[in-house]
Chain A
């Protein structure tokens, strides 16, 4: 396990390096006149900052390779992602405040997605080709098609018209009032999780169908084990391996979806930070969020790979 982990971590280096180059090059595509635009859009700040100062703050006054070298060295050796252009706050500080919020939203959405997907997927497989199965499958394709921002908008609009109730939008931090925070995050998490559940539900069904036809399941039935034991202990655990992979693959979708959900429900997470930064053209923040998201997704996928050993006794890392 130790050697395997070391090898996996080593293999992450080229991926992370390439990811950092993607982030760096994308942001450096800024055409020169955008800096003028930045200055004209932020009138107040423009008084205090000249074109040269902004160029220097963005590091655009050096050749590309040197810019990249300095940028990556600052991150690796000092954990320094630069300063916000207009707020004079270190980007890492801003990110540290926002990251846990998005993480919580993502985690809750994942729990929602799984608690919709697994029971329905299992039910669908056990009752294959019955009316219930068809209903469940149609429901899953429908969930896949409903855009989360529309669902979110509907949740804001219709309960307010019908019952005069609307979801809370004044964000309360988890540490200040855990119960209120969870109540507040529940609806955004349900909206975000609903869409994600569809693919997981379909895969759970497919995998369960495959596993339920295996010999060892027949043996389990023949031994006279109760259905719950056959399904949950013998079948589900083996069907879960690809499902867990899918959860890893959905991490980017989850983070992307969080941006929209945070915007609708005014949750001060990374998504809202990114959108505000985009509106103010605060490039150091944009770069920071971009990079952190890429690194986070890479590590989530590593975690997923490592979890196979726990789920599937056949997989033992060497």
Chain B
């Protein structure tokens, strides 16, 4: 054995050094400029969200009756709303809520998808059959309807919304992880691990999980957009994070909507933020999918 290692070392040294494949970020920016732009935009919103209290020129609930319904100007870039609150500041704080809800719910959802998908796909058989029928039944309900029903039962609030969205998208996404696991399950290295008596958790953790990471990463990215959109839809219906929290969805509904005819900028700003973030997650997710996992192309 010891003799083999120097021999290969010599052989490698004798060959001309193969060019290293370009790194992930190089490929992202070179091959997928639109996706890279989406990634940068997402990063921008992430930073804005994280540093919202320092970046926002005003407080999100700073009421100034004299300043009400002022059109965009140098002191209020996005104008002010019916209570004289600065729309830009509310959008920035809205980014914070969206980032928090989007990232936590998407992360939880991904963990749930991975857990269900890996166990169900690896075990197969009756267990898989029962789990998959449950997933079928679950998927026959629209996300928004389940969210509305759950909120009607346990009341609105951030933890409920994050938990429900995570469960919803987690169960739905388990299908994608499961199909990837079924592809990996029959590989030689998994059979070898089984034959040397590795425990199931060890096989799942050390052999299956690392090999189904690409679809899981893509799943997470696209889920962030889905969560933000779902949460804003719920807020729009008045069932999201309760006021005065400035969610983008709630800025488009409620009393704000009544005043949009006097101040159309009220309708523009939060909608543009939402569209930009969802657009960014979509193009970035597509680019990631193409780079990490070509098999998933076309799956939404």
Q: With A153-B252, A153-B267, A256-B142 as given contacts, are A147 and B229 in contact (CB-CB < 8 Å)?
A: yes
Inside 8 A of A142's CB, which chain B residues have their CB? Answer: 275, 279
A98: min CB distance to chain B, Å: 14
B77: min CB distance to chain A, Å: 19
- B152 pairs with A278, CB closer than 8 A: yes
A160 contacts the other chain (CB 8 A)? yes
Q: With A146-B275, A286-B152 as given contacts, are A157 and B141 in contact (CB-CB < 8 Å)?
A: no
**What are the 7 tightest A-B residue pairs by CB atom distance, in nearest-first order?**
A256-B142, A256-B144, A18-B137, A150-B271, A145-B279, A252-B142, A145-B278
- Chain B binding surface SS class: helix
- A255 pairs with B145, CB closer than 8 A: yes
Inside 8 A of A278's CB, which chain B residues have their CB? Answer: 148-149, 151-152, 239
Inside 8 A of B297's CB, which chain A residues have their CB? Answer: 206
Q: Which residues of B contact A (CB under 8 A)?
A: 133-134, 136-146, 148-155, 225, 229, 232-233, 236-237, 239, 249, 252-253, 257, 260-261, 264, 267, 270-271, 274-276, 278-279, 282-283, 297-298, 300
Inside 8 A of B151's CB, which chain A residues have their CB? Answer: 278
* Nearest opposing residue in chain A for B252, CB measure: A153
Choice from B257, B260, B271 contacting A147 with Cβ under 8 Å? B271
* Nearest opposing residue in chain B for A270, CB measure: B145
Q: Give Cα distance in the complex from A14 to B137, angstroms.
A: 8
- A145 pairs with B282, CB closer than 8 A: yes
**22 pairs, A vs B, C-beta closer than 8 Å:** A18-B138, A19-B137, A26-B153, A27-B149, A29-B150, A29-B154, A144-B282, A145-B279, A149-B233, A149-B236, A149-B253, A150-B274, A150-B275, A157-B261, A158-B264, A202-B298, A252-B141, A256-B143, A274-B145, A278-B152, A278-B239, A297-B142
A41: min CB distance to chain B, Å: 12
Q: Give Cα distance in the complex from A157 to B259, angstroms.
A: 10
Compute the total of residue contacts between A and B using a CB distance below 8 Å: 145
* Nearest opposing residue in chain B for A30, CB measure: B153
Q: With A147-B278, A153-B257 as given contacts, are A290 and B252 in contact (CB-CB < 8 Å)?
A: no
6 extra A-B contacts, CB within 8 A, seeds A16-B137, A252-B141, A294-B141: A15-B137, A22-B137, A31-B154, A157-B267, A252-B139, A259-B145
Q: With A142-B279, A203-B298, A263-B237 as given contacts, are A27 and B153 in contact (CB-CB < 8 Å)?
A: yes
A206: min CB distance to chain B, Å: 5
A298 contacts the other chain (CB 8 A)? yes
* Nearest opposing residue in chain A for B228, CB measure: A147
Q: With A153-B257, A259-B148, A293-B145 as given contacts, are A141 and B300 in contact (CB-CB < 8 Å)?
A: no
- B261 pairs with A161, CB closer than 8 A: yes
A253 contacts the other chain (CB 8 A)? yes
A260 contacts the other chain (CB 8 A)? yes
- A253 pairs with B267, CB closer than 8 A: no
- Chain A CB within 10 Å, residue with most, of B141, B225, B271, B297: B141
A154 contacts the other chain (CB 8 A)? yes
Which positions 238-259 of chain A face chain B at CB distance < 8 Å? 252-253, 255-257, 259
- Chain A CB within 10 Å, residue with most, of B150, B237, B279: B237
Inside 8 A of A277's CB, which chain B residues have their CB? Answer: 152
- B233 pairs with A18, CB closer than 8 A: no
A120: min CB distance to chain B, Å: 17
A199 contacts the other chain (CB 8 A)? yes
Inside 8 A of A283's CB, which chain B residues have their CB? Answer: 152
* Nearest opposing residue in chain B for A291, CB measure: B141
* Nearest opposing residue in chain B for A203, CB measure: B298
Choice from A29, A157, A203 contacting B153 with Cβ under 8 Å? A29
- A18 pairs with B133, CB closer than 8 A: yes
Q: Give Cα distance in the complex from A142 to B276, angstroms.
A: 9
* Nearest opposing residue in chain B for A254, CB measure: B142
- A154 pairs with B140, CB closer than 8 A: no
- B252 pairs with A149, CB closer than 8 A: yes
A15: min CB distance to chain B, Å: 5
Q: Give Cα distance in the complex from A26 to B149, angstroms.
A: 8
Digit string of A282-294 for contact with B (CB within 8 Å is 1, else 0)? 0100100110011
